[in-house]
């Protein structure tokens, strides 16, 4: 039901062009003409406008290699960037992310206990100043925040982030005041799904689910029809609390018999005799272990995981399921087991099209996802957002 005036045509085309450069990387003007279907002359004018906005630069054509006049390459510029803020249980990360999902600078501040939400804005603002200085004082278009918890999409209120000890923290507005940039806040796993869909294991997919297992539990993010599925208020994707068994164990939210109460990283670490381990170390230990108790626990957890994945397949019919954190390790420890279990827990038709993969982006995933979130307004309306930055 959106209407269009004539200016919006220009905005849409600038958006399409910038989005292509962002997602597909540097492209020649000829390639952009092909990708957008616009006329050569139009692309020329649009690229010129993007260059004036400091969003791209045109460089000399690389090695020509083919017949015909060489086409200049349109390269995303680093003069306008987004900020990413990732508060986690053990550290706060602030980063600058440029077009193309490139992490231009990063500052990780470790801590024993997470700082209260009220202290974050000042911390973030000073880290941001440092980062800007190190990277040539770029303009910051917006900031994206990846929060491990329930986030109200409308205003960036953090309803509940148990592992940070936050409750009803108006993070969005506090950060906007302290940093003087537009702030967008979202759930971490939702942003993980976005990141993997744009630059990772689900590249190019329009329907994907990202399921991540961390020390804090199991979170998920949904991509449906090419857009992140946030639900009516922003709380969608809480797969950790789906019902998987009649067991009496309760998860962190007090709900019994849920995925999170049955599938847990700590149980694996304990059986392996490890104190703490990142996902890679845990996976190595799982693969190296010959302990039958460990194998049984892996199977038990995979069994419960399959129940939730079956529900995901039946309900959402995704093209790709991306496993991250220790869930990827579980799958790697027993290759094919999950797929075999699924045959009995999901309908055949949606299973056919499903591909189960492991996350590709590693530790940068949330930074990239938060950057992508913040990039949304810039990609949708380059002139307005660049002028405001």
Q: Which residues bind DNA (CB under 7 A)?
A: 4-7, 9-10, 13, 28-30, 33, 37-46, 61, 63-72
With binding defined as CB under 8 A, does residue 289 bind a copy of itself? no
Cα separation, 180 vs 386, whole angstroms: 15
If the CB atoms of residues 29 and 132 are measured against DNA, the closer one turns out to be 29
Q: From the CB of 15, what's the least distance to DNA, in Å?
A: 10
With binding defined as CB under 8 A, does residue 340 bind a copy of itself? no
Of 63-71, 118-126, 174-182, 205-213, which part binds a copy of itself (CB under 8 A)? 205-213
Question: For residue 287, what is the DSSP state?
Answer: H
Region for 101 from its dihedrals, namely left if φ exceeds 0, alpha if ψ lies in -120 to 50, beta otherwise = left
Q: From the CB of 291, what's the least distance to a copy of itself, in Å?
A: 27
Cα separation, 250 vs 136, whole angstroms: 50
Cα separation, 208 vs 106, whole angstroms: 28
If the CB atoms of residues 63 and 110 are measured against DNA, the closer one turns out to be 63
If the CB atoms of residues 237 and 383 are measured against DNA, the closer one turns out to be 383
Cβ distance 282 to 329 under 8 Å?
yes
With binding defined as CB under 8 A, does residue 26 bind a copy of itself? no
Q: From the CB of 383, what's the least distance to DNA, in Å?
A: 9
CA distances for 231 relative to 68, 122, 235, 239, 257, angstroms: 50, 31, 6, 13, 24
Q: From the CB of 68, what's the least distance to DNA, in Å?
A: 2
Please state the φ and ψ torsions of residue 72, each to the nearest 5 degrees.
-65, 150
- Which of a copy of itself, DNA, none sits in contact with 118, Cβ below 5 to 8 A by type? none
Q: From the CB of 378, what's the least distance to a copy of itself, in Å?
A: 15
What is the crossing angle of helices 326-333 and 292-316, to 10°? 110
Residues in Cβ contact with 159 at an 8 Å cutoff, skipping those fewer than 6 apart: 149, 150, 151, 152, 167, 168, 235
With binding defined as CB under 8 A, does residue 225 bind a copy of itself? yes
If the CB atoms of residues 122 and 315 are measured against a copy of itself, the closer one turns out to be 315
- Which of a copy of itself, DNA, none sits in contact with 25, Cβ below 5 to 8 A by type? none
- For 227-263, the DSSP string reads EE--TTTS----GGGSB--S---B-TTS-BTBHHHHS
Q: From the CB of 99, what's the least distance to a copy of itself, in Å?
A: 15
Which position among 245, 294, 380, 388 is part of the footprint of a copy of itself (CB under 8 A)? 245
Give me the 35-64 binding string for a copy of itself, x by CB under 8 A, dash otherwise.
-xxx--------------------------
């Amino acid at each position: 039901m959106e209407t269009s005036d004539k200016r919006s045509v220009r905005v849409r085309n600038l958006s399409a062009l910038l989005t292509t450069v962002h997602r597909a990387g540097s492209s020649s003007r000829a390639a952009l003409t092909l990708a957008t279907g616009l006329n050569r002359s139009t692309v020329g004018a649009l690229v010129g406008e993007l260059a004036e906005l400091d969003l791209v630069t045109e460089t000399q054509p690389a090695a020509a290699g083919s017949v015909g006049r060489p086409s200049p390459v349109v390269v995303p510029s680093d003069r306008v960037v987004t900020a990413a803020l990732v508060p986690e249980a053990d550290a706060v990360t602030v980063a600058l992310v440029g077009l193309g999902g490139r992490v231009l600078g990063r500052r990780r501040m470790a801590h024993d206990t997470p700082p209260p939400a009220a202290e974050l804005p000042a911390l973030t603002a000073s880290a941001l100043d440092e980062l800007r200085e190190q990277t040539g004082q770029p303009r910051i278009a917006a900031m994206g925040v990846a929060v491990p918890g329930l986030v109200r999409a409308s205003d960036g209120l953090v309803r509940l982030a148990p592992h940070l000890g936050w409750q009803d923290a108006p993070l969005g507005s506090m950060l906007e005041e302290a940093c003087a940039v537009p702030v967008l806040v979202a759930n971490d796993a939702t942003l993980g799904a976005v990141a993997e869909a744009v630059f990772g294991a689900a590249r190019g997919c329009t329907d994907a689910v990202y399921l991540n297992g961390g020390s804090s539990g199991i979170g998920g993010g949904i991509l449906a029809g090419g857009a992140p599925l946030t639900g009516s208020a922003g709380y969608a994707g809480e797969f950790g609390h789906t019902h998987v068994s009649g067991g009496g164990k309760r998860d962190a939210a007090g709900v019994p018999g849920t995925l999170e109460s049955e599938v847990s990283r700590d149980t694996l670490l304990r059986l392996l005799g490890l104190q703490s381990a990142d996902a890679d170390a845990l996976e190595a230990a799982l693969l190296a272990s010959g302990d039958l108790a460990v194998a049984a626990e892996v199977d038990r957890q995979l069994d419960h995981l399959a129940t939730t994945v079956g529900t995901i397949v039946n309900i959402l019919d995704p093209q790709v399921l991306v496993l991250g954190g220790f869930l990827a390790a579980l799958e790697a420890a027993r290759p094919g087991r999950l797929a075999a279990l699924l045959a009995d827990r999901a309908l055949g038709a949606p299973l056919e099209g499903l591909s189960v993969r492991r996350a590709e982006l590693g530790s940068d995933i949330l930074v990239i996802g938060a950057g992508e979130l913040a990039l949304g307004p810039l990609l949708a309306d380059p002139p307005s957002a660049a002028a405001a930055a």
